[in-house]
Structure formats: C-alpha cells, structure tokens
Structure 1
Amino acid sequence: MPDAMVKDPDALVSAMAQHNITRITLVPSLLKVMLELHPNLAEKLPKLKLCVSSGEALPPALGQRFVQAMPHTRLLNLYGSSEASGDSTYYEVTAQSLHTAVPIGRPMDNVQTYVLDAQLQLVPVGVPGELYIGGDGLALGYLRQPAMTAERFIDNPIASAPSAHLYKTGDVVRYLSDGNLQYLGRRDDQIKIRGMRVATGEIEAVLKQHEGVAEAVVLAHEGFGGDMQLVAYVVPHPQATVTVDDLNAFAKTKLPGHMVPRSFITLAVLPLTPNGKLDKRALPKPSTTRKDNAELVPPRDEIERKLLPIWQQVLEQDKISITDDFFELGGHSLLAVRLFAEVETGFGVKLPLSSLFQSSTLEGLAGVLRQNMLSDVSSELKKVSRLVPIQPNGSKPPFFCVHTIGGSVFGYMALAQHLGPDQPFYGLEARPEEANDPMRQRIETIAAAYIEAIQTIQPQGPYYLGGYSYGAVLAYEMACQLVAAGQKVAVLASFDQSAPKSDYFASPRLTLRTVRGFLGNVLHWLNDFRQIPLREQVGRVRRKLFLGAPSPQGKGVDLKRYWDDVSRIPLEIHELMRTHLGAWEAYQPKPYPDHITVFRAQRQPLICSYDPHLAWNSLVRGGVEVWPVTGGHRNTLEEPHVQSLAAALKEALNRAHTQPVRV
C-alpha cells in the first residue's frame, strides 16, 4: 500500500475492506486510531483473521479493546530486532489475558531466548535480567563495525544450548510463572532507588492501568537530597480529571514503596522528536528543591526544633521539612541506628528502630517522642512493639519474619517491597537494651515470646513464618511450639540457613558430591570476587575460607571471627549479638513433624558438606522443599539477589494459599 494510505487510517480501513484483507501487521498507535474511528470495525473487516502488533509496546487496554471489538480476529503481540531477522517472540492476546503489561511471549520456531544476569547466569522466574537471542536468524554482526559486533554478539555461555552465539538486546525482561516473557524496559532505563534496582517501564505499565491515564513516562531525576528520585509524566484521557493525589494513591496500591514516583507532572501531550520518538529532553524538569517547590514546613514546637538539627546532621542535609520522609532523603538502616543514638543522647529516650516504619517523617517521629516523654509505655505495648509492620497492607495472610543475629529487621525491607502491596509483612525485632534480658538466653523462651506477639494480630493459624540466618532458627522453634500447641503452620521458610546442630560446616568427606559442589561453587565465588576491591578480596581469604552462617561458640565470642568488618556494626548491638550467639550454641532442636521450605543461595561456603537440603532433613519429618536463589549467604537480602528470593518466596506463599494445610 502507498505511504499516503498507511498514514490515513480511514483510507487504510476502506482499502482493507475493498480487498478482503485477511492478515495485517501494524503498530499499536495506528491500531488505536483505527478503533477510535471505526467502533464497528468487525463489520467493516469481516475477513480479517489475524492482526499482528509490532514495533511498539502494546498497551493492555488497547489489546482488550481490540479483542472485544474483533472477537473473530486473532491478535498477536510480536517482539524482535533487526539483528535477529526481525520478530523473535510472540504472544496471543485473548479476553483472558489479565497481565499488567502485555507479555512479549515465547520464542518463535528456531529461535532461542535467554534471560541472564550481569555474570551471564540464568535468572529464576520473576527476576529481571537482560534478554539474549539466539537461533538460525541471528546476524553475523555489524558491517565494518568490529567493536560493536564484539560488544553485542557474544559466545553463548550456556554450554548445552543449540546456539553458538547470542545477540545482547539491551532489553530488560523477566519470565512470568506461565513461561511468557514480560518486557520491562531498556537496560539503560534501569536505575537504583534507595539501593534497589528499578525498571521504569514496569512503573509506566502500572500507571497506564489507571482509568484516567492515556500515556505515562517515568524518568529519574536528582532530588533535593542528591539521590535519584522517580518522576512520572502523565497524559490524561481527554475527558478525564486526574489529580496528583489520585495518581499517588493509585500507585501506592499497585507498587512497592521504592517504585512509587516522588513527583507526578500532568501534560496535554508527550513531546516527540521529528521521527515520532519520545523527546525526553523536552520534558519539564521537576523542582530540585522541594516537593511541589514550596513545602519547607518549619518546626512547630520545641521537640521538632530539637529534632531537626539531628536529622540535618545524620542525613548531611541543610534543608529538611518536618514532612520529609527519612528514607526518601537517603536514610538507611545504619543511618537509622545513628539517628536513634543521637535521639537518645538529646532527649534521654530510647526508641526502637521500628518506630521509623510507622513514623518515617520528622513530625511523625516527634509525635512518638512526645508520647514516650509524656507517659510510660505499658508492658502490653512493649510486648506488641516487637512486631514491626514493615508492610501491613494486603488481603493475603501475613508473613512473619524473624530478625537476624543483631536484632534488626531493616534488612527485610527490600524483600517485603518485592513481595508486593498485597502481601502483609511483619518483622519480629529485638532491641539492644534487651541484651541482658533472661528471656534472650534461650531460643525456646525467645520463640515463646514471639508467638505471643504474633498472636496479638493473628490468634489462630495457619501461620506463615520465616527468617534469615539466626532468624530461621528462631522461626523453626516457633513452628515447633505452634504445632505442639495444635496450631497449623502453612509455610516455614529458611533463607539460606542450615539446620541447627548439623554437621553442614564440618570438614566434609571427600565424595563425588563434595567435589562437584566445590568445583561448581568456585565459579560463583570468582564471579562475586570480581566485583569487590582487591583489598577486600585479600581480607576475606585471610580471615576465613568460608563465608556462611556462623557456627556460634557462646558468650564472649570474638565477633571478628564471623563478620568481615566489625567496625561497621554499631557498638550498642555487640552485646545483643553475643547473647544471641550463646542462645544459638545452647539450643537443642527437637524434630519438626511438618515440612520446611529452604531457599538455598547459589554460592555456598567453600568448606561444607554440600548437602542440597542444608541438613534440614535430619530434623524435619514432613519433607524439605529446596528453592535455589541467586547470590551467597551474605547478600541474599541485597539487590539484585533479593529479587530472586522474593520471586521464589512469593511462588511458595501463593502455592500454600491455594493448597490445604497439612494436618
């Protein structure tokens, strides 16, 4: 067809009807105009059997609109690139397609797709990675551009794969649980927000689900605190009224906290370049001083005036409003410890770190201080305060996660956020001042106290419990006590922790399993080592050969034996850590009659038995289910590996929600 006809949707529809066209390939923007001009498109094009959408992302609403308007026409969403001979994957949109973004689907015949991480390792289902394409249609390279060819066309790292070479697309995707690929955006569009990697395309897809939003673009700009903050540019539908408050509330119900844009800017249209691409440089920049360019709310009383310089000192910022959020200003767990130490010095009040989860603004924290200074906190409130509502919203049963050896639950923030807004997530914390509490001398008494705490919000099972390292041991004892009391535990999750009192870290016998495990493990170690400074590499090797869960030696133990840099651990929690290590050593675990789910890190200690069950089968009678996750023991909860853990945990929880609880 002539270009003039293609650019005239009305003429195009007339020509298709005249010539009884049965198949057509077009871009979504043209398809949208055709549907708007001809609501009765099925009557005009009764012979059309196949419509292929390609060249642009297909919005979910447009796909569903086409399916409803053209029930007898198949709609395929295609993805590809010139380097792989055009289209490489396909997905058929149906009335049952309920994805937040239309998937790009599965590879076509004679095409192979791989989702790999930065170390060219395959990533698990649900974890973002870069898409690589192989197959018969792969180009040999770029004409007279050897450097670009070497960069984008690589040897296939998967030894058993049929393709010798792969094309590095630069596109970030992930596998859905049904095996389809979901496009998340360009690799260059991935940014870090508060230490967590974010794909802006995923946020855009969610914003477009809002009934009043026609188009959405999300970019990262430097905020007034110097950190990167998300800005959403939104084009409303012609007849829709969309406010910033509406968009913010909608985003908070659909996205983890770190993916909610800091600012929303509404536009009549998105600026385009002459060739029809988004002109990012023409988008208005948000204010770099304050949200809405004006809201520097000053302190209103003596407590807020005294608290403000503490925030300024800890966060190293001068302009702070009492409405500012600690985490949005760049705060993290180590800064929180320092903040609360300064608060104790300045006010004489020792607050639990969990106060920041409920009151993360300066005015909110001032309110907590007011309450504590005006009245004594009851013992009942102290008991309940062990529960930290990291993410209390959602319709699913709550997941209770026990603190690590230092008592903090800050390390679970990213995990809770990646599980999504519909999964309530509570942490169980220990405070430094409890180091000499007799209750903390034994695992059994700690577990009993924590059961009492979780039953204040969930009196009856089934329960969903878990923990990382030392927290997994406490969760195990909690599960034992709950089952003994006649309660049901649907999920008991251990995040890369071996069974207590096991010989997992003892000197292994030389068997085929240990040799294979050692050789495979060395590769993961080398990959990790390449990403850290040489000085730290030497220090790790000098301190010890393995970096796994510590085998505690009791009170008075030298913490340097178990942590690479003790100077980074706040002094106020050293004694609590020693107390917990002593309880760990004295613990005599009983057999557990039900099942456990173990999330085993790829990189294990170099010297261990390489038991695939992490020795839990020696204690657990109802079966051990093992989920492999990326990373090693020390970075399981850190980006990007926490995404792998969250995807696996979400799958395990969803499965437990739909299956009858074992009795």
Structure 2
Amino acid sequence: MTTDIPSGAPDTGHRPFPAAERAGTLAHRFLETAAAYPDRDAVVTPATRWTYQETDRLSARVAAGLAAAGLRPGERVALLFSHGAEMIATLLGVLRAGLSYVPLDAAYPEPRLAYMAEDSGARALVTVRESLASATALAQGRPVLAYEDLVLHDEGHPVVRATPDGEAYVLYTSGSTGRPKPVAQVHRNVLHHTRVWTDGLRIGPGDRLTLQSAYSWDSAVQDTFAALLNGAALYPVDLKSLGVSGLLEWMARESLTVYHSTLPVFRALVRAMESRATALPAMRVLALGGDTLHLSDLDAYRRSFGPHCRIAGAYGSTECSCALLRVEDPGYRPPTGVFPLGLPVVGTTVRLQDGEGRTVEGPGEGEIVVLSPYLAPGTVAADLSYRTGDLARRLADGTLLLIGRADFQVKISGIRVETGEVESALKELPQVREAVVMPFTDRLGERQLAAHLVAEPGTRPTAAGLRAALRGVLPDHAVPTAYVLLDELPLTANHKIDRKALPDPLTAARSADDTGPRPAGSLERAVAAAWHEVLGTTGAGPDDNFFDLGGTSLRMAAVHERLTRTVAPGLRMTDLYRAPTIRSLARLIWRAAGPTGPSSEDAAGGTARGARRRTARRPRRPSTGAAPFLTLPPPGGDRTMAPGGTRD
C-alpha cells in the first residue's frame, strides 16, 4: 500500500487525527473544528450551502429544542429525513444534547420503519414538517418534533452533554431472524473509525467529500464525520433526484476531491463520464467498498481519472467499520484478477480462523475475524473479537483475497442482506408455501437475488405481484429481481434443502407474454431501447412498469443518463418515477419538448385512433400483477449498470 502523496495531488491541509482517547466526543471535536474554520463550507447540497458557523448555530438550536422537549442524555431519538442538509444539523444537535440518533431511511417501507422505531426504544421522532404525518404514524404515540420548530429555539450557551463512552447512534442491518438487527456504537469508537478514514485517505480542510450512502449505513458515518471533524466540506448526494448525469455535472462544478460509493454506482458514473466526455480533474481519492474490485474496475479508474487520483478499497461492516484498507495509485497492479483486501488499520488485528476455531497461519483459507477494542458493544466476544462470516484466502505474500461467505449473508449493490430475512418475508405471503433465496450473477454482470418458490395449492403468484408485496416490507435492495416457481424444493439425502441443486434463474427464465402491443413512435422506441440496454429486456410493452420488470432505483438512474444524452436533455430523475412505463414517459418527454419537438404521431406512439388499431390487433398487456412468472429477461445492454435497490 502506497503512502506518499502522488505528484500533482492538491495539498488538502491534512493533519493526523488524534487518538480517540484524546479527541473527547464527536460533539466536542465538531465544536473545535467549527471554531477553527467558521467561514468554510461545511454542508453543501444543490439547495443549501452552510458554513461551519451556520451549521454550529443550527445544531445548537436543535440541541436546545430537544432539551426543551424533555429529552435527557442517554435517550434515543429517531430521525426521519430524506438525503439532505437538515439531517446533518439534526444529528449533530442530538449528539450535542447527549442523546443518540436512530436514522430512519424515508425510502424504507413503513412497517420496517415502525419496527425500528419501536425496537430501538426511541423516546421521540424528529422530521421535517412535510413528513409530520408519516412520522406520527410511525411514532405510535411517541412525541414527534419538527426540525423547523427546533431551529427556532435560542441556542444560548449550550453545554455539550455527550460523554466518550456514551452511545452515539443505532444503525439497523439485515437480520438472519427475519427482523432488522440493531448495532449501536459509542463516541469513542466512532472517533477511532474517523481517525482511520481521515488518516487513510489523508482528509484535510481543503477537501470536498461526497455523501452518497443513506444515513442508516455505516459508510455514511465515515463520510459525515471525516468531513465535519476535519474542516472539510460534506456534499450529501441524492442520486434519485440528480441521476448519474446530474451527479457528474455537480461534482465537476463543485470540484469534489473525495468520492465514496459502492461499485455499481461507480461503474454507472464512469459510464457517464466516458459517454459525455466529462472529467473530474479535482478528484484525488476514489473510495470504493461493499464488493470486490475487478481488473475492469481498475482499468476504468485509470482511463477516467488523473494520475494524481488514488483508489482505496475498504473492508469492514457495521460492527467494525473499516478494518482493512488499501490505498493505491494508478500504477498498482494486483497479483491476481481482483483488488486484494488491505492491511489492518490502526488499533485492529485481523486473523483467519478455520472451522475448528484455530488460527490459520501462513497461506490458507478461513473466516475473517476482527479483533479491536473499538468494535460495536454487544457484538463482540470476550476477547474483543468479531467473526465477520466472510471467507478469505491468504496468499504466500500475505495478501488476503475475499472468496465468499460462511453463512447465507450476501452483498447486493454493496449492502448486506441476510437471505433468511427475505425468505421470512416471502413465507409471510399467502401465496407462498416455501421459499429459498440465493444470490446469482445476472446477464449484466451484477449480483442479484433469486427467489425459488413453492406456491400454495391453487395459487399462481406472479413476479410483479411478489415484488409489489415485498416492497411493502423490505428495502429495495433486498427485493429479489428473479423468481423461479418450483413444484417442490430439491432435498439432500439428509432431507435438507439442496441449494446447489436449485435451478439457475438465468436458464429457468420463461419469456414474457409477447402478444401485447409494441412501442411505437420514435420516443417510445428510444425509451424502449434505453430499457433494453439497462434491463436486458427485449419484450417490454408500452404499458409495462419498469419496476415490475426488475428495474431498480440505480437502473432507473442509468435509463435517465441514456435518455438525457440522446433524446431528452432536460429530463429530471423525478420524471421517471412519475412515468414508469414506456408510453407514459414518452408522452411526458413529448409534452416537455413543446412545439419544436417531434410530432405526436411519431413521438408518443401515434394518435388515439392509431393506438386503438394496435390494441385491436394485439391484446393489451396489463401493466402490473398479471405478467407471467419471470426470472431475468434475455441478454442485452452493457455491463456497467448496477442492480437495484441502492439508497443512492
């Protein structure tokens, strides 16, 4: 792992971050930073640009408002926000008041959020005024406070009530029991992990960092505090609003220097950079996590970024944050076909352990075990160790390669998913008798989930119907994109489910009903072509729903990038969610184009009379709920777009 600053890299003013035992609390360190850099940008969004002084003042008012509402140090507060600046001010205010925050991702299904609010024991919920009705439904009698009211309080001279061993936050991850699992962390440990990220990426007050992860992910903690405890600027990015092309333009305009995302989003970004011939010359670090970097990813990095830009591969989990880190320059060539895991970070030891619990010395394979005094309380063994469940192989030179899992946990778009939780949700549906969920690689080269099902007698569930039902209880990234209906599940000689004998969802695919109408007119055909590139589908009808065909938020962003590059430069990401069918989106684009755009006949599939003629020739395909049981559609498109459900 290289440590020198590459030639041409900007001087960001990085200074070594103090050891956790000397840094106090997150709140104390933020106040010190705000005092040192009052006029520097702290939080920047397309609608907001707060200095450290302004962020300090707003968080102080939030802290005063929480205290006035009767909340006391040591209690938990649930935060229901979209991806914006208000969440940052609120969580800082919560920490200053000696409370801990429980982020509730507004994109998650309501039953899941209600469970998290109840299970965490949150004393109150905080949200923006426009979300008060939703928050009240989740609160189940708990007080609901509006951010806009909290920031009206007089901050006075607030006293920081946080303590180093006090709880800072509670994040919920996928749980093997069928319920989300809470992971709590204390100030001292978060400061240590901030030190790891700060010094590993050499973050300083001259940096401008992306924040793409949802607040409920551990990676958001890394980015938030590595920026705000070092005088750098934090840029929360809402990919669902900006789209990939909007993200690229914004990063170029703001000269961002540190980029952090999962690999699927990075691949989509590089695709947009190459198709639009747009560069990011200020970028000096790409931090990519959640999955294995392949040689193709390293080649894309070298093609698209300057020689001073370095690439960082991070390994960790919510329980241990970043445990292994590798930072390399463009000249690095991995010894195998993948970017290997890095070296243990300061304060951390990593060992391999075989199935008998013995340490694997030298070359060999075993489960990754992390030992550190900074692991999340309640998740560690007596010897301060955490068994990750990940399997790795150590090469002769000491390099570690990730090779799989020891259990049924998988990563989808870089997000941890327990297949047991998905199976439990499927078995709750009245049409499903048995369910097994397994990962597979789709024809676009991305990791997805496939559900293998045995239906209840007399029922014939559809893929669209199952997806819709699961989206009501699971986050998008945990909803399978492929579904295989079986008469019975295969069993081993010991009468256990034989997962290796489950049919490949790619070869088990059944073609969709191809008797419905076809996209007509130049705009419908352009939208259909974009769907084909991103989803791989060739048989989508004009009234099929994008999400019913396996579409996801990130793949929607990929469609947006293609359409803004070809036929609709002014198209907004939100337009695609408002018009999720080929016909409706083509009409929206045509209306937006006005009198200078294509004719209605050519653009939106012809006149109503023509549409009636087409319908008479071919029975109209229903838009949801009645599609045949599907796995993935036929191959097509490129291999850069990602599968779904990321909280971008």
TM-score calculated relative to the size of structure 2: 0.31
Higher relative contact order (CA 8 A, sep 6+): 2
Name the TM-score, length of structure 1 as normaliser: 0.30
Question: Which one has a bigger Cα radius of gyration?
Answer: 1
